[in-house]
A and B are shown apart, each in its own frame.
Chain A
Amino acid sequence: MLSRNLRQFCRRYSQSTTFRTSQTSPSQHNENQIGMFYTIDANLGKQLFTTGGLPKSFMKQTKTFTETAVMVRRPALDLMECIKASDMNKPVVRYVLYGEKGAGKSITMAHLLHFAHEQGYLIVHVPWVSEWLRRLPRHKEMSNSQTREGFVDLPLDAASWLLHFKTQNQLILKQGDMKLSKTYEWSKRESSEAGSPLAAMIEHGINRVKYACDVVDALVQEIKILSNNKQCKTFVAIDGFNSFFYPLTRLNTPTKKKVKPEEVTLTTSFLELTKNDWNNGAILITVDELAVPEDHQESFLPKYLLYKKGFEHLDPFVPIEVGRYTEKEFLSCASYYRDRLWLRGPPEIETELKFTSTLNPFKFMEQCAPL
């Protein structure tokens, strides 16, 4: 038993120089670490990503590997540089991650989330927009909005997102210096007074699911005000943002009417948040082919995926492409998989895998699975 542990220990640290970096703080990452893996602390990973944030296949892999290791890649480094260098008094800058399927947009976003958490940002993270608009589990709760005519509420989704928001920002919310700027009346008996803590309102949204969507709306307004007042700096991350602009959702009202995305209250809230009429923050968005149906996946470029409306909504933005692996990244990834015993066999198979996966990270991961 001891010898086995020792062997594993040796295996883990023998090659560590080539593909692993011990630098676990994203803000310290630099050019030298490109292509290397860093491990996200288990507790922190739990806090940030338990309620979504990492793709499902990646989550499975982290479970198998018993660690959450993320590769340091060029787009993430560039983004961190940009965010560090940006002027917080100017309107927020919108960064759009784009790239082909499986290139690592969501993982890059996870890396950035870690960075934002470390830098003390208030994180407003939507793990996957299509979860709300395009995924239809058997009991999808839907109701007409009480406050706004002709709008549709997704109370359960909103409540679970509030929970996600709460877990991601535990520490900041606990500090308690974030107060509401005005009174929100939910019903005759329930209301959130001006000056009461933000956390209380969130708690109210989670407990009274009926009002969750309105709470999200209020929360977005409050976050904007708080950021403008320099009480907190905000990092907005929305994955699969182009889903907001696809002409139709899969939702149907009880009267069998097709619901458009702009008729959903959650959409309006987050579109409000992604406007650049506030400052002291950063907005990171991904556009993804996977967020739209298969017959509209002709290109991965933002202009195609966002449609005219979305493009005009986001304009101006900073596009950042997440590409395939470079040669160096590929080799480092292969040796990481070998280290995890995920990839075995003679070294020649790497050349073949390089060609068959066309250096696409997801394809590579997929093809290594049975090897």
Chain B
Amino acid sequence: MKMSLNIIRYFVPKTKCHFSWKNPIIQGTIQYTTASGSSDVFNNMTDWETLSKKKKISKAMKAYLERAREHDDFMKKQQFEYNIGKRHLANMMGENPETFTQKDVDRAIEYLFPSGIYDPAARPLMKPPEEVFPARKAAEFDEAGRPHHFLFYTGKPNFFKLLYDAVENIQQANNFEDRVIRKKATPDPNGKLDLGGSVWLTKEQLEMALVESITDLEYDNFKVVMERLVSLPYSYRHKEFIEKHRKPLASQKFALEIPKPSYDDEGKAYITTYECLRKKARGDVTIKSPGTGKITINGKDLSYFEDTQSREQVLFPLIFTGMQDKVDVICNIEGGGPSGQSGAIRWGIAWSLRSFVEKDMLEKMQVAGLLTRDHRRRERKKPGQPGARKKPTWKKR
């Protein structure tokens, strides 16, 4: 009995606390009395006692308030500096500081500090501070040490709130379905939820959104619950909630980018792919259709490559698509060794063949990894050891 009353007492005055926390004792009392009108006098007495104890601000709250203030100051300063910097940058670039957007900032930074650093994250940048400094969880309890969130003691309030909301939505959807059935109406055929173009947030994305770390099991539970919600016939009524936790799929752009072949004097369709790279080899590949399966590499035929493996590399895309007798291949390649050169030609042929094959074959080619560039390069030798990774032979002494 006491337990239940305590719970009620803890979260009923929650909203009030935000607006006026100058005198929580009085507020609490008022709320308390209204919430439990029929409680006995004994209970009333004890509550006064506890509340008078909570007059003092808890240590945790004090520390938090200190931290929050510092953070706010810091962010304010950063924001100020960012705005000043942006204005300076706009003046440097000779543009209007008022209409200078973040996009312009990025462009200006790229122009003023050109960088060839491989990882884009390591290049110079100027972003608004809220993007640069990660969001921090706001205070989860008031100055009396009382949590705001009704699920605070689960340890992961935001996550379990999400599950809670999902279940709430499921129940609403079920209730709605019952009502529809009772009225003997038919469901709206246009109301179908189309989720083909998106996927559930990944674990990392969900963690970012919730500002909480979750386990794999919890993530699986999230997916199970959401799938259950989606499977209901009236889930479209909760579209907003569902889409908040989905991410649109990266559209497969290459289908649109496939170039149309050009035609030469003899009326043959041809496609040239420049910049076929692999290891240190660079070259270009031209594919002519219709052809007879003639392969020319730097003016020689396939015997340009001595070893069988390289020859097979070159042939693989042609045999995979069954085009070995239907097209002619002309390559110019330089740099690197046989395996790099053959790899570059393989990619070039596969890339050019996109214009000549069917769509389902294109997908097969992608699955087979033919359209993927191999970015691996030679790894440098490290001092103190004989190779890139190889360590000297271990000798006891």
Contacts and interface: CB of A to CB of B under 8 A. Distances in A.
A355 B324 contact: yes
Interface string A309-352: 00000000000000000000000000000000000000000011
Contacts of B302: 355-356, 358
Contacts of A100: 303
Contacts of B308: 356, 367
Interface residues of B, number: 12
Nearest to B312: A356
Contacts of A352: 312, 315, 319
B301 interface: yes
Contacts of A360: 303
B223 interface: no
17 contacts: A100-B303, A351-B319, A351-B324, A351-B325, A352-B312, A352-B315, A355-B293, A355-B295, A355-B311, A355-B315, A355-B324, A356-B302, A356-B311, A356-B312, A358-B302, A358-B303, A367-B308
Interface in B289-319: 293, 295, 301-303, 308, 311-312, 315, 319
Contacts of B311: 355-356, 358
Interface in A89-137: 100
Contacts of B319: 351-352, 355
B301 A358 contact: yes
Interface in A246-279: none
A25 to B, nearest CB: 35
Contact of A356 (B293, B315, B325): B315
Nearest to B306: A363
A355 B302 CA distance: 8
Nearest to B316: A352
Contacts of B325: 351
**Most B-side CB within 10 Å, residue of A351, A356, A360:** A356
A355 B317 CA distance: 13
Contacts of B324: 351, 355
Interface string B308-343: 100110010001000011000000000000000000
Nearest to B302: A358
Contacts of A351: 319, 324-325
A348 to B, nearest CB: 9
A100 B300 CA distance: 13
Nearest to B311: A356
Given A351-B325, A355-B324, A360-B303, 11 more contacts: A351-B319, A352-B315, A352-B319, A355-B302, A355-B311, A355-B315, A356-B302, A356-B312, A356-B315, A358-B301, A358-B303
A300 to B, nearest CB: 12
Interface in B95-153: none
A351 B293 CA distance: 11
Contacts of B293: 355
A347 to B, nearest CB: 14
> Would you list the 10 A-B pairs with minimal beta carbon distance, nearest first?
A356-B311, A358-B303, A358-B302, A355-B315, A356-B308, A356-B312, A358-B301, A352-B319, A367-B308, A355-B302
